[in-house]
Amino acid sequence: MPKCWLGKPEQLQRFKDQLEAIDKMTAEIDRHRIEPVFSDTIRKRQAWSPDYTLGDDHVLHRCIDLIAYSNNAKSEIVKPLLASGIFSTIFKEYSVSGSASLNPQQVLQSYWPRIKAIRFKYKIGRMIGCAKCLLALQGRRGSFMDYLKAKNLPLSIRSEQDIDQFWQSFDIIRLDFSALDFPYFKNFTSLCHLLMDIGFDCAKPDLAVMKAAVKLKIVPPAPRQRNDPSKAGAHPEVSLRQAIRTMQTYAICRQTRPALVDMYFLICGGQTDMKKLVTQEYYS
């Protein structure tokens, strides 16, 4: 039995099959990697690590960026928009108190024609809501990173105990965020994304990652939509969690980071930006 096996003995063969499938997938991607951009991306992701000294202004900045990219906004348009500095202007250089005092309708009246690449107007209200929730956490726990530190999230995942601790802490954080009505990040996928973005050993189970997880037989296909059975619906949360746990377990087995496993899953699933890391022959 592999030392990295974390489940029940009767499930061992299925895990071995998944391990082999991921190994084959990563090997095939490696044969089509484009350098130096592929290795540069690996180095950047390897450097991701939680920094408990981060201020809430930085956290708000990350929340705003993640919301801007969400809901299928085109990354090739949103990225230069964020880089232009217009959101820094709107949100008072990401001041939590300054952003929390903004009026969404006034922001939309002044800026919407210039920021409509984010697709949905309601996102502005959600971004302001994040600032308000960060203020609420300050009043109860100190900074956002102080709050996370108190929840005992592992700095890195290196063992079965670390994975169990991660998900115990995750569930507590999610309950707290639900009670706060924390926009976007009270939701499973978005909270996973935020934690990965600030350096924790997690992954965002987005469409590309889940497409890869289905292909690798880690999770079953998503159920069909009731109103239109010709289209796939959303994966249930149990599948999202299983996909990430498998990635975390694989990372332990191969002595790597979940963020790097996530990169391979994104490539396998055909995520737009990650497709640029490999030759087109990979997808032919």
> Domain segments of the chain: what residues?
1-50+202-284
Angle 69-244-3 from CA coordinates, rounded to 5°: 150
pLDDT of residue 8: 56
pLDDT of residue 23: 96
Q: Please, which contacts does 144-152 make with residues 24 or more away whose CB atoms are closer than 8 Å?
A: 144/54, 144/56, 144/59, 145/50, 145/51, 145/52, 145/53, 145/54, 145/59, 145/198, 146/52, 148/50, 148/52, 148/173, 149/52
pLDDT single digits (tens) 133-166: 999 999 887 899 999 999 999 999 999 899 999 9
Q: Quick check: 59 pLDDT over 80?
A: yes
| Number of other residues whose CB lies within 10 A of the CB of residue 23 | 13
Q: Quick check: 279 pLDDT over 80?
A: yes
pLDDT-based confidence at 2, cuts 50/70/90? very low
pLDDT of residue 1: 37
Q: For the whole prediction, is pTM greater than 0.85? A: yes
Q: Quick check: 9 pLDDT over 90?
A: no
Cα→Cα distances 220→92, 112, 229, 248, Å: 45, 40, 16, 19
Q: Which of 29-38, 104-113, 135-144, 262-271 has the lowest mean pLDDT?
A: 135-144
pLDDT of residue 5: 52
pLDDT of residue 126: 98
- Region 116-122: mean pLDDT is 97
Q: Quick check: 78 pLDDT over 50?
A: yes
Scanning the structure block, which residue is given the tokens 């309950």? Answer: 175
- Region 28-41: mean pLDDT is 98
Q: Phi then psi for 99, rounded to 5 degrees?
A: -70, -35
**Rama region for 117: left / alpha / beta (φ>0; ψ in -120 to 50; rest):** alpha
Q: Quick check: 188 pLDDT over 70?
A: yes
- Over the chain, what is the mean pLDDT? 93
Rounded to an integer, what distance in angstroms lies between the CA atom of residue 181 and that of residue 125? Answer: 13
pLDDT single digits (tens) 202-250: 999 999 999 999 999 999 999 988 887 878 789 999 999 999 999 999 9
